[in-house]
Amino acid sequence: MNLAYTALYEINIYSIFLVIILFILFIYLTIQFYFSSNLYKKNLRNQRNLINLERERISSEIHDEIGSGLTAIKLYAEHASKSKSDVKEIQILKGMIDEISQKINEIIWSTNSENDHLESLVYFIEDQVRQLFKHSKIYFQSEIEQNIPETKIDNQGKRECYLLIKEIAHNALKHSKASKFKLTIYFNANDMIITVKDNGIGFDFKQNTGKGMGLENIRNRAERINGTITIEQYKGTMISVKIPLKADFVIG
């Protein structure tokens, strides 16, 4: 009995000892994981901060070194086009400079990390679409919800969203033969909804699914930010884009 009791006692001691070792190992691994995870997050934050600083530096240099010089050229081209309005080449040159200037402004806005939030995106889209119709015969109107979520957004997602709406607006300007164009931006609990509506002639989906109307590019851009597009045609064309405000578009 004593031998059996002693053997059972030793087994229990070893079992308890093994459980203690496993428990200590579990605690050790948990602590290691916790500190490793925090270190990874800290390194990730540091890398993100460094990237943002570099983006701000590039944006500032583009603005200071290129933007100012391009503005001077643009002003000179505008003066030349007014004094030599009959010279076709000057008018073409002015148009090219305006287009380059627009692209530079887009790059400066996109590169600057201070614009990585939803409010900046919304008002930049509204301003740029307004500028697009400024010298056209199409009356532009916008309706922007005032309660914009205070949300940081991904830089690439921000750019894709802007270019998506810009392309839709450009198609309307070029093809719709409309006299009115309205941009509406509002939000629900999980999404941003951007709607554009014109009173133009509409278009044939079968004939305009290629490069002419840019529908393929529009769909591709929407897919890259997990957006969905709805197109309706009644007394013009209405295109609605629903963009989920989640991880692929928003910085967590």
For the residues 193-213, what does the mean pLDDT come to? 70
Where in the chain are all domains bearing CATH 3.30.565.10?
116-252
Enumerate residues 6+ apart whose C-beta is below 8 A from 210: 216
192, with CB counted inside 10 A (0-12, 13-18, 19+), is buried
Residue with tokens 């509002």: 186
C-alpha–C-alpha distance, residues 186 and 148, integer Å: 8
pTM strictly above 0.85 = no
The CATH 1.10.287 portion of the chain extends over: 1-115
Residue 79 is given by DSSP the state H
Please tell me the distance from the alpha carbon of residue 13 to that of residue 38, in angstroms, as a whole number.
Answer: 37
Query: Degrees (nearest 5) of the Cα angle 232, 235, 240?
Result: 30
The string of pLDDT tens digits covering residues 23-32 is 666 665 666 6
CATH superfamily placement of domain 116-252: Histidine kinase-like ATPase, C-terminal domain (3.30.565.10)
Instruction: Judge whether 173 and 132 are in contact, CB under 8 Å.
Output: yes
Class of domain 1-115: mainly alpha
Which two tokens mark 226? 């997990």
pLDDT digits (tens, 9 = 90+) for 137-180: 999 999 999 999 988 888 888 888 998 999 899 889 888 889 99
